[in-house]
Amino acid sequence: MTPGATPAGLDAVELPALADIRAAHARILPFVHRTPVFTCRSLDDVIGAQLFWKCENLQKVGAFKARGACNAVFALPADDAARGVVTHSSGNHGAALAYAARRRGIPAHVVMPDNAPRIKVANVEGFGARIHYCKPTLAAREDACAQLQHATGATLVHPYDDFAVIAGQGTAALELLEAVPDLDAVVAPIGGGGVLSGTAIAAKAMQPDIDVLGAEPAAADDAARSFMSGTLQSMPNPQTIADGLRGALSERTLRALRMHVATIGTCSEEAIIAAMRLIWERMKVLIEPSSAVPLAAMLEGALSVRGRRVGVILTGGNVDLDRLPWQK
Amino acid sequence: MTPGATPAGLDAVELPALADIRAAHARILPFVHRTPVFTCRSLDDVIGAQLFWKCENLQKVGAFKARGACNAVFALPADDAARGVVTHSSGNHGAALAYAARRRGIPAHVVMPDNAPRIKVANVEGFGARIHYCKPTLAAREDACAQLQHATGATLVHPYDDFAVIAGQGTAALELLEAVPDLDAVVAPIGGGGVLSGTAIAAKAMQPDIDVLGAEPAAADDAARSFMSGTLQSMPNPQTIADGLRGALSERTLRALRMHVATIGTCSEEAIIAAMRLIWERMKVLIEPSSAVPLAAMLEGALSVRGRRVGVILTGGNVDLDRLPWQK
């Protein structure tokens, strides 16, 4: 076995409970923001519901991913931690892991395809992580990760198929329900299912009658199909503007969703762009396309929210300001 | 005398005191947001100061102008109020006055040049104001206002040369200093000087040793020159991207600035665009160019803030998302 790596099979589909999410919260609170919950009358009027926006776009590194990464990094035993952490996410999780590792003072290795956008490379490098380039295929990325684990003893921190990461992501919903206790429903977008799993576990344990809803681009609806069928459905190369939601569920996140989620609604690409712009204009905050997916699904009537009090996890705010989706 | 109009000369250079600002705050609180104060480590590092951002871009109608307009509208005696209010601002003050009038259930008349951008017209119409078009000159706008006052008995609410409006604008600094009591300095941008006057009166009364700083585009530096010389300097047609700051001081606002303001720093157009983008990227909130002027002046070293605790009024967030200034 690679030193520092999680033994294969162990913890394979284990899920955190509310107590783990509370422990994660206590662990990460010195390193993340307790983000505000916004309300916006004019968006409420558009949807016909009372919406409570948990602003993880205002989180450290600009995304909820700081929560899961900090929990995974700070939960490591000291000797494992000293050997560092590794991941092959070039998006928000990569930056979040780099941030968490810097806060703990340990090495972070991030494997990236050699065609990764300069802005993503700079974002991860800015937090002091070491970047390792590889060919732009999933196999090459996983190989590079395995080699790094072997060579350095670093611990792999998967962006969502990870007990500690899911527990960390659940802390956003924990804070939301502490701030607004009487919600009828809570919605989060789905990529690999990490934030929705954490949200669902926290919300159903805190308030068993709450409806947990997922939202996904129709162009990347593998999670909706996995959820309906109960078996993992894959999608080779989903074409959606919501670049944070291109991942596929794991056994672990599928299990959490099947246990706790009421519905997964899907939405068109046009609705994602319209919803993103609506949030920018009305709420005056930057969100990335993935964060607009819950509102997009509501706009298209794919989620039953009318007349209800609904919490929404606004997952992130990292966008390329030179290329906004409503511009030609 | 036009019914409902303020008698000429009376109150001509009268300024509110802290008690008036406190009274304004109690009056407007049901109709405006107590906006959050943000901090952002990475912007602090850029400037080398500890910055506290009072987010009036998250205010009703997307700008601090809601405060002054609500105070002016709700301070009117019932019979004057019933005849309505009028202004010739086509920007945030026009929308704010329309909003305030709608909340009180009285008519609002907004005079606009017949070449006003569609987006500004829609914004004011959206709050139910009646729009009156005129030729695009200041004289034509003032004439149209006077005619409307005469015909309807509506009260003119000037965007800044107004006792109640200045008292209302001062409530943002009141809240900021209540939230962060030990600031070394507070900065606001200057157009006609309304928000800086209100800020200065509130801040110096609450904390006499605070430095009140103004920031202005170098391309529209009439206020800086008026402030230095002590007499009103004019500038016919200032060319700055900070469209909210093209106004000129009045006797009233010049008096407030000369009494309470330590320095006015100016900045280049390039710095305004860079500062605006920096705030979008790092703080994940939308601000309009005018709101970026204090940071721009700090970036160019025009304000002494290094090592200090500095409050900044982020004045507004209304931007045209189809035309961002860093795009070609």
Q: Among B62, B284, B324, select the one facing A58 at the smallest CB separation.
A: B284
Cβ contact (<8 Å) for B284 and A324? no
Residue B320 neighbours by CB distance under 10 Å: 12
**Is B132 contained in some domain?**
yes
Question: Residue range B55-75: average pLDDT?
Answer: 97
Is the confidence at residue A10, as pLDDT, over 60? no
From A139, A156, A173, give the residue that closes a domain: A156
Write the pLDDT tens digit of every residue in A62-104.
Answer: 999 999 999 999 999 999 999 999 999 878 999 999 999 999 9
Going across the sheet that includes B155-156, the strands are: B130-134, B108-113, B85-87, B155-156
Asked if residues B157 and B87 have their Cβ atoms less than 8 Å apart, the reply is: yes
Q: What is the pLDDT of residue A12?
A: 60
Cβ contact (<8 Å) for A277 and B62? no
B277 touches chain A (CB under 8 A): yes
CB pairs under 8 A between A and B: 39
Interface test mutation site (partner A, options B59, B285, B314, B324, max chain A beta carbons within 10 A): B285
Asked if residues B133 and B113 have their Cβ atoms less than 8 Å apart, the reply is: yes
What are the Cα distances from residue A215, in Å, to A241, A249, A269, B139? 14, 13, 13, 54
Cβ contact (<8 Å) for A326 and B324? no
**Is A278 contained in some domain?**
yes
Cβ contact (<8 Å) for A321 and B285? no
What are the Cα distances from residue B181, in Å, to B38, B174, B186, B210? 15, 10, 11, 10
Asked if residues B44 and B298 have their Cβ atoms less than 8 Å apart, the reply is: no
**What phi and psi values does residue A123 have, to the nearest 5 degrees?**
-65, -45
Q: Among B277, B284, B327, select the one facing A285 at the smallest CB separation.
A: B284
Cβ contact (<8 Å) for B284 and A327? no
Q: Among B62, B284, B321, select the one facing A326 at the smallest CB separation.
A: B321
B328 touches chain A (CB under 8 A): no
**Is A284 contained in some domain?**
yes
**Is B321 contained in some domain?**
no
Same domain for A145 and A96, yes or no, is yes
Q: CA B87 to CA B107: how far, in whole Å?
A: 12
Same domain for B31 and B168, yes or no, is yes
Same domain for B35 and B57, yes or no, is yes
The answer to whether the predicted template modeling score (pTM) of the entire model surpasses 0.80 is yes
Q: CA A244 to CA A254: how far, in whole Å?
A: 18
Same domain for A250 and A114, yes or no, is no
Q: Among B285, B321, B324, select the one facing A277 at the smallest CB separation.
A: B321
Same domain for B211 and B173, yes or no, is yes
Residues making up chain B, counted from first to last? 328
A321 touches chain B (CB under 8 A): yes
**Is A324 contained in some domain?**
no
Number of domains composing chain B:
2
Same domain for A209 and A253, yes or no, is yes
From A106, A124, A156, give the residue that closes a domain: A156
Same domain for A114 and A183, yes or no, is no
**Is B24 contained in some domain?**
yes
Name the 3-class secondary structure at B290. Answer: helix
Is the confidence at residue A295, as pLDDT, over 90? yes
CATH of the domain at B88: 3.40.50.1100
Q: Among B280, B283, B317, select the one facing A321 at the smallest CB separation.
A: B280
- Model-level ipTM above the cut of 0.95: no
Is the confidence at residue A319, as pLDDT, over 70? yes
Query: Which residues does residue A212 pair with via DSSP β-bridges, in sequence order?
Result: A186
Q: Spell out the alpha helix ranges (H) of A12-126.
A: 18-28, 41-47, 65-75, 78-82, 92-104, 118-126
Which amino acid makes up residue A21? I
Asked if residues A317 and A284 have their Cβ atoms less than 8 Å apart, the reply is: no
Same domain for B95 and B58, yes or no, is no
- Give the tokens for residue B97: 């006055």
Write the pLDDT tens digit of every residue in B88-147.
Answer: 987 899 999 999 999 999 999 999 988 887 878 888 999 999 999 999 888 898 999 999
Same domain for B125 and B151, yes or no, is yes
Residue B158 Rama label (left phi>0; alpha psi -120 to 50; beta): beta
The distance of B120 to chain A (nearest Cα, Å) reads 14
Same domain for A148 and A22, yes or no, is no
Cβ contact (<8 Å) for B281 and A321? yes
From B156, B186, B212, give the residue that closes a domain: B156
Domain that holds residue B303: 18-64+162-314
More confident residue, B320 or A58: A58
Cβ contact (<8 Å) for A322 and B317? no
Cβ contact (<8 Å) for A321 and B321? no
Which amino acid makes up residue B110? V
Residue A105 Rama label (left phi>0; alpha psi -120 to 50; beta): left
Same domain for A76 and A54, yes or no, is no
Write the pLDDT tens digit of every residue in A217-269.
Answer: 999 999 999 999 999 998 888 899 998 898 899 999 999 999 999 999 999 99
Same domain for A307 and A250, yes or no, is yes
Which amino acid makes up residue A70? C
HSE-up (13 A, CA, CB side) for residue A41: 8
Cβ contact (<8 Å) for A277 and B322? no
Cβ contact (<8 Å) for A281 and B321? yes
